[in-house]
A and B are shown apart, each in its own frame.
Chain A
Amino acid sequence: MLEKIKFTLNSRRGRKNIIFSFLAMLIAVIFLFPIYWLLMMSFKPDIEIFAKVLTYYPHEFTIQPWLENLQNQEFLCSLRNSFMIATTSMLLSIIFGVPAAYGMGRYKVSGRKIILLTFLVTQMLPPSLMLTPMYLIFNNLGLLGTYLAPAIAISSGAVPFIVIILRPYFKSIPRSLDDAARIDGCNLFQSFFRIMIPAIKTGIIVVVVISFLSGWNDLAYSMTFNVKAEMRPLTANIYKFQSKYGTRWNAIMAYGAILVIPVILVFVFLQKYIVGGLTAGAVKE
């Protein structure tokens, strides 16, 4: 062990490793300090929240703010709704988005510019313009108050996003792979599923995560299309918490922390894929 450490310190590469790792940790500490703040605030008693002097760790530790939220009946239900809305919209986004990115990236489709422009245009509509007309559509389709309504609204915005992100990935796949696939006797779809998708695993994971989170984070659509408590996601209840707790930051922060925890879990769960994918390089030649 000691030998190893000595070796690390003596080799140039090892020193670089340590210096850079230290710098990276410093960056992380500074950048993620607000998240520490969020968690820390959620364990402070009221008296400390209103104290004149700001404390950087809870001098008196309490889980009361957490209990206040977790003992709330609606909470688990909202959590489930958040996951359902996010998952549904992610699936819709991927089903429509990935093939479109492939078609746009690999083929000389005429009218490509028009299609690209249209995709971009759809990204440009602000939520306030969407709410009323979409409400009218979903009302006619009888989708109001289902997971599908917000999911469709969110995914329609995510599909173009996926195309824009993934197109360069698909373009970067060398032609030799196409030929190899054809020689192996793959048809159109087989080569898409067996060759192309695995070739850009990184990009796929990135868009899966991003499209899931755009559903997880959505506020305006879910709030407008799903009125009933049993269909609402967590984000949509934030209003209620703001009016209920006002400046009781510990209770609000505990609620926020509960909302962030699944995000952190998703990250821990997928991080090795994301990071592995990002550092591996998309193309193996």
Chain B
Amino acid sequence: MRKYLERFYSITIFSLVFMLIGAVFSLNVYAKPVEVSLWHYFEHEAEALEKVVADYNAMQDEIEVIPTFVSREELMNQYTIGAISGELPDIGMVDSPNMASFVALDVFADITEYVEEWDDLQYFYDGPLNSTMDVEGKIHGLPNNSNCLALLVNMDILEAAGFDEPPTTWDEFYEIAAATTDPSNSIYGFSMSAVGNEEGTFQFIPWLYSSGASVSSLVSEKAISSLELLTNLVKEGYMSREVINWGQADAYNAFVAGKAAMLESGTWQIATMDEDIDDAFDYQYTLLPKGEEYASVIGGENFGVTVAASDVEACTDFIKFMQTAENNANWCEIAGKLPVRSDAAELKDFWTEDERYAVFTDAMNYAVARGPHPEWPIISEAIYSAVQAALIGEKTPEQAMKDAAAIINPILAEIPVAGSN
């Protein structure tokens, strides 16, 4: 009898304990926020991103955002495969000129209904915001940061060659590039990236628009003159032929090592510049030299909510939080970028105080966007191929531009660039 009692007790106690554990667990599950994956390719900015994410996770309990680093190349591949397989993160980062393609591939969800009533939207600059839109003007994400290109000059080399001021026009630029080239010390007058990918296109666009031409007028005299300028630099030995294999990091390294008098430089490079140059020489930023007009190009990243997200509205809410004026300002200060909203730029004075940033803030006034266009990768390939062909002497600048136009013009005739400039 006692045995039975013991058994009965033990069973009862056991089941009570189990019930308790179960209850605790189910409570936990009940209160647990939904996990949301975010893919990005920020490297030195990753810490700042994680802080924003942690803040957001702490202030609400609906979703928990989990950031994952994926390198840029692969992120593109993942979106491409994801477009076919449907396997995507909930929130994804994307380089602004590529957004239109992924919108066309149905990677990013339409979030217009969640942002159109949002007061803050009016403060976003047009250029970056347009890059999140499709042909009908529907918004698929929010811009996160902006950058553009300016001219970076090694003042020590310039002064040694007898120039006190950086160049402002193409003619001055060419003259200085010639005067500062020093083959005996393997110093080139100018360094840029003309590599066979989006970076090469990015670096050529300012020259094209500075001539007064545009992507849709590549066969014009003006467009050809811009390519001629760069081709002559290589021909005369003022710029290394190897720039066709240089990414922007490579061109920057050459400048930092004192092997280039001038560099076409991006905003993000300010973040590491002082550390890398280490007071070896004085440098100065200025606008890229003017052909017919000043010009630059807009770069930057956007964040979008993908079509795979279980709760588009909740994810959109996170992106909005990330892009509040205050967060955007803090973020861009850490990451060495330019804010994407006018009221964020006003929050900190270093974009106007720090003379390096001031140049970029000014350059933004002249900066053009790439696209937005769903076929941008093909347009871009035609452009960087033309530049490469001319620089290595495979084609004349005129022929190279004609061949590029032959590819680009039919595409633009079918689908014009949204918000065409």
A interface, CB within 8 angstroms of B: 46-47, 49-50, 52, 131-132, 135-136, 139, 144, 223-224, 227-229, 236-237, 239-240, 242-248
Residues of A within 8 A of B252 (CB): 246
B360 within 8 A of A: no
> Chain B interface residue count: which class?
20 to 34
Determine the main DSSP class of B at the interface with A.
Answer: helix
Taken together as a complex, chains A and B put the C-alpha atoms of A240 and B72 apart, in Å, by: 8
Taken together as a complex, chains A and B put the C-alpha atoms of A160 and B250 apart, in Å, by: 42
Closest residue of chain A to B248 (Cβ to Cβ) is: A246
Q: Are A46 and B257 in contact (CB under 8 A)?
A: yes
Taken together as a complex, chains A and B put the C-alpha atoms of A136 and B82 apart, in Å, by: 9
Most buried by B among A132, A237, A242, A247: A247
Shortest A37–chain B CB gap in Å is 19
Q: Are A245 and B70 in contact (CB under 8 A)?
A: no
Q: Are A132 and B39 in contact (CB under 8 A)?
A: no
Taken together as a complex, chains A and B put the C-alpha atoms of A243 and B199 apart, in Å, by: 11
Q: Are A227 and B70 in contact (CB under 8 A)?
A: yes
Q: Are A239 and B85 in contact (CB under 8 A)?
A: no
Taken together as a complex, chains A and B put the C-alpha atoms of A236 and B71 apart, in Å, by: 9
B interface, CB within 8 angstroms of A: 39, 43, 68-74, 77-78, 81, 84-85, 87, 185-186, 246-254, 257-259
Q: Are A246 and B249 in contact (CB under 8 A)?
A: yes
Q: Are A247 and B77 in contact (CB under 8 A)?
A: no
Given contacts A131-B81, A244-B43, A246-B246, 14 further A-B contacts (CB under 8 A): A52-B185, A132-B84, A132-B85, A135-B81, A144-B87, A223-B74, A224-B78, A227-B74, A237-B71, A240-B71, A246-B249, A246-B253, A247-B246, A247-B250
Residues of A within 8 A of B68 (CB): 227-229
Closest residue of chain A to B257 (Cβ to Cβ) is: A50
Taken together as a complex, chains A and B put the C-alpha atoms of A237 and B259 apart, in Å, by: 28
Closest residue of chain B to A50 (Cβ to Cβ) is: B257
Residues of B within 8 A of A227 (CB): 39, 68, 70, 74, 78
Q: Are B81 and A229 in contact (CB under 8 A)?
A: no
Residues of B within 8 A of A50 (CB): 253-254, 257-259
Residues of A within 8 A of B81 (CB): 131-132, 135, 224
Known A-B contacts A132-B85, A135-B85, A247-B254; the reply to A239 vs B246 at CB < 8 A is: no
Taken together as a complex, chains A and B put the C-alpha atoms of A243 and B71 apart, in Å, by: 9
Shortest B204–chain A CB gap in Å is 19
Contact pick for A247, options B43, B72, B87, B253, CB 8 Å: B253
Contact pick for A52, options B186, B246, B250, B254, CB 8 Å: B186
Residues of A within 8 A of B69 (CB): 229
Residues of B within 8 A of A144 (CB): 87
7 contacts between A and B (CB under 8 A): A131-B77, A135-B87, A223-B74, A237-B71, A244-B43, A244-B249, A248-B253
Closest residue of chain A to B199 (Cβ to Cβ) is: A243
Residues of B within 8 A of A136 (CB): 84-85
Residues of B within 8 A of A47 (CB): 257
Residues of B within 8 A of A229 (CB): 68-69
Residues of B within 8 A of A228 (CB): 68
Residues of B within 8 A of A132 (CB): 81, 84-85
Residues of A within 8 A of B250 (CB): 246-247
Shortest A129–chain B CB gap in Å is 13
By Cβ-Cβ distance, the 8 closest A-B pairs, closest first, are A246-B249, A50-B257, A246-B250, A247-B250, A52-B186, A240-B71, A247-B253, A246-B253
Taken together as a complex, chains A and B put the C-alpha atoms of A39 and B415 apart, in Å, by: 52
Taken together as a complex, chains A and B put the C-alpha atoms of A229 and B68 apart, in Å, by: 8
Shortest A218–chain B CB gap in Å is 14
Taken together as a complex, chains A and B put the C-alpha atoms of A229 and B257 apart, in Å, by: 32
Shortest A136–chain B CB gap in Å is 5
Taken together as a complex, chains A and B put the C-alpha atoms of A186 and B95 apart, in Å, by: 65
Residues of A within 8 A of B246 (CB): 246-247
Residues of B within 8 A of A240 (CB): 43, 71
Q: Are A243 and B249 in contact (CB under 8 A)?
A: yes
Shortest B82–chain A CB gap in Å is 9
Taken together as a complex, chains A and B put the C-alpha atoms of A237 and B69 apart, in Å, by: 11
Residues of B within 8 A of A224 (CB): 74, 77-78, 81
Closest residue of chain B to A134 (Cβ to Cβ) is: B81
Contact pick for A139, options B77, B85, B247, CB 8 Å: B85
Shortest B221–chain A CB gap in Å is 35
Known A-B contacts A131-B81, A132-B81, A244-B43; the reply to A239 vs B253 at CB < 8 A is: no
